[in-house]
Amino acid sequence: MNAITAPQGFVAAGVHAGLKSSGKLDLSIVATADGNPVSAAGVFTSNKLAAAPVQVSRAHLADSGRTAAAIIVNSGNANAATGTEGATHAEEMCTITAAELGCQPSEVLVCSTGLIGIPLPFDLLAAGIPQVVAGRSPTGGEAAATGIMTTDSMRKEIVHTGSTFTIGAIAKGAGMLQPNMATMLAFVTTDAEVEPSELQSLLQHAVDHSFNRLTVDGAQSTNDTVLALASGLAGPADPLELQAALDAVCYDLAIQMADDAEGATKTVIIRVEGAADDTQGLHAARSVANNQLAKCSWYGQNAYWGRVASEVGASGVDFDPELFSVTYGGIVTAADGVAVGYDEAKMAEYFEGRRIEITVTLGLGDGAGEVITTDLSHAYVDENMGKS
Amino acid sequence: MNAITAPQGFVAAGVHAGLKSSGKLDLSIVATADGNPVSAAGVFTSNKLAAAPVQVSRAHLADSGRTAAAIIVNSGNANAATGTEGATHAEEMCTITAAELGCQPSEVLVCSTGLIGIPLPFDLLAAGIPQVVAGRSPTGGEAAATGIMTTDSMRKEIVHTGSTFTIGAIAKGAGMLQPNMATMLAFVTTDAEVEPSELQSLLQHAVDHSFNRLTVDGAQSTNDTVLALASGLAGPADPLELQAALDAVCYDLAIQMADDAEGATKTVIIRVEGAADDTQGLHAARSVANNQLAKCSWYGQNAYWGRVASEVGASGVDFDPELFSVTYGGIVTAADGVAVGYDEAKMAEYFEGRRIEITVTLGLGDGAGEVITTDLSHAYVDENMGKS
């Protein structure tokens, strides 16, 4: 759908540089149409084993005063745990891109996704970057979205049309779901006019309420990166509308990731209400979302609420064993801390769907938190045994 | 082997009270031979959804000044999330046991293990308790060890013979490994003479260095309980020897649990060395042990060190990407933060074994931590889907 090039002022492309033996696209660019830098923002993994491209992009945003003219991205190799050589390679990717575009290297951001600990096949990238830059166009958004995919089964794209502005976004991955293909990446463009510092604030808020509430397996990749570019060509936007739109775009991409998470059969939304405060609500929801036993029960289409309640009790949040309730899609399975009879046929029917919503009410306060996750299936184990 | 009755002054028994439809033993007792209370200690789950028997045992230890004459234990039902009725049932189990033994109810400790959220079939227990009390004998240790099993495939027992004392112990479970059969329980007897407060301190230390370092899936049960009774019949013991012996006994049981964890094909010992301090070392080791992706790679017999290093980097401990190394059974896979070539045939051979030792060295300080865990297999998913 060419989502990333839907806002005014952006071009994109995707090519096969040779990193993927399958012959699929593995090198993408998103750039401003005129090659000039615009407002840019980034949110990066907090993993201390942050990959070389994460470190380079962070530095470039700082050096350029949060502006950028392009994002260059390869799939098929994470360039993580690759030492000083890896850092040089990430920097070189920006230098080559900048030379082709006619901007400064510090105005290029770089991402990589793939296997950890394997040296980057840099020659392939050095040859591929001029090709992908040359191929950039307003209709290259779909190819760019394809070129960042690893084991994703479908492209993840969305366009939001606001009253005065457009937002386009693409993403790949679902947490560190894959054995050798790690990482979530998301790139957002808009033609709204927004200062770099405001764009950073808007993006951070959107990420906190979307990708940071998506957990497939509790692991944070070495390469997780979300970047935003704002061309300003549509003029100023209402800040509240822009924030809401950016939040919605990122939330939609997070759900797309969970829906496409390989090995998963369910997208599960855990909501904890009545917590002492929002922090506790979110922490409890996250604990349930990362509980292997609960995840297996969802795969088994089994409303075993005891697992869910036990995990909340173990999570450390304020908890009264006589006050909690647990519902699945509105079907009450426990109330006031004890089992409640329910229509098993109705529950079985509910579990036939892809989306499962579980709400735990603690009865203690007004705090609430929500996390998006998936089940734990045989296919997940297959995917992550690392033999494939 | 009648481990729990090996120390002087203890009797035990196990009977089928009817909670398990399989006809297997499901009610056990461990008691002093003369029915008089002796020094007792307990370490309990910190889950705020603590089951009724946990709450009753905690209260009884406090009321009795940490003395007890017996431990009564049922398997087949956890008596957790069962409301005020559940609390009454747990108290009644002690009252009936005490009446039969001729001691005070507060001198009886109680445990349950099984399904959460299902009312206890109390009539079966009211009828079974007099039987199990009547059947107690110095040769009943094996039956008691059998009666606490749920889906364990083998009894877990150990006897340690010290210079002046004997320790006997039994256990069941492996974390919250099972879908409907939760919980780890361990009971320790000794004939060493030791004051209640000292016994509590000794037990807490042993638990901290054994069961609390075993994690199959990161979940803490509503019913986890470790209890110790000391008859004193062997007279005073050297405190250092007693602590070391108790530590070794509990560590051995923890390894037995991991070795018998259903659905697991590997017992994996994660050791983090060179951490800033021991707390960080233990935290990092625990993070790796609970990482689903790493667990799948062990099942796949795949030395994917990048997963392990990434999880340490994400765990929040001090970490230098250029200093860490990772070894599997002494085979170096990464050093100074980058990949190191190794003999793949040798690694494949190493992965054929049940026990896998992974050491991550951070190169930052003298801190270290070790955690025992298992892999994540297809059979684990089968066990925990809850359809069986």
Mind telling me the catalytic residues of A?
183
Phi and psi torsions of A11, nearest 5°: -130, 165
ipTM of the complex model:
0.82
CB contact residues (below 8 A), chain A span 46-65, against chain B: 46-50
Chain A residues whose CB is inside 8 A of the B222 CB are 310, 313
* pLDDT > 90? residue A379: no
Distance CA B293, CA B274 (A): 24
Domain B267-384, architecture per CATH: Roll (3.10)
Query: What pLDDT tens digit does each residue of chain B (388 aa) get?
Result: 899 999 999 999 999 999 999 999 999 999 999 999 999 999 998 888 899 999 999 999 999 999 999 999 999 999 999 999 999 999 999 999 999 999 999 999 999 998 888 899 999 999 999 999 999 999 999 999 999 998 788 899 999 999 999 999 999 986 544 333 357 899 999 999 999 999 999 999 999 999 888 877 666 788 889 999 999 999 999 999 999 999 999 999 999 988 988 788 999 999 999 999 999 999 999 999 988 889 999 999 999 898 899 999 989 999 999 999 999 999 999 999 999 999 999 999 999 999 999 999 999 999 999 999 999 999 888 877 764 3
Report the C-alpha dihedral over residues A55, A57, A63, A68, rounded to 10 degrees: 180
A43 vs A54: CA distance, rounded Å:
10
Q: Which of residues 325-364 of A touch B (CB under 8 A)?
A: 334, 336-339
- Tell me what pLDDT residue A46 has: 85
Query: How would you class A316 by CB atoms within 10 Å of its CB: exposed for 0-12, middle for 13-18, buried for 19 or more?
Result: middle
Binary contact (B179, A80; C-beta < 8 A): no
Q: What is the pLDDT of residue B388?
A: 37
**Chain A residues near residue B336 by CB distance under 8 angstroms:** 83
pLDDT digits (tens, 9 = 90+) for A297-333: 999 999 989 889 999 998 999 999 999 999 999 999 9
User: Closest Cα to residue B188, out of B234, B128, B248?
Assistant: B248
The confidence score (pLDDT) of residue A179 equals: 35
Over residues A325-368, the pLDDT tens digits come to: 999 999 999 999 999 999 999 999 999 999 999 999 999 999 99
Q: Does domain B3-260 have CATH number 3.40.720.10?
A: no
Whether chain A has a CB inside 8 Å of the CB on B264: the answer is no
Picking from A117, A222, A384, the nearest residue to B293 by CB comes out as A384
| Cβ atoms B222, B175 nearer than 8 A | no
Q: What is the mean pLDDT of residues A197-220?
A: 87
Q: What percent of chain A has pLDDT over 90?
A: 80
Q: For residue A115, what pLDDT is reported?
A: 82
What does the pLDDT read at residue A388? Answer: 37
Report yes or no: A311 at the B interface, CB cutoff 8 Å.
Answer: yes
Domain boundaries defined on chain A? 3-260, 267-384
Residue A109: per-residue pLDDT: 98
pLDDT at A381: 86
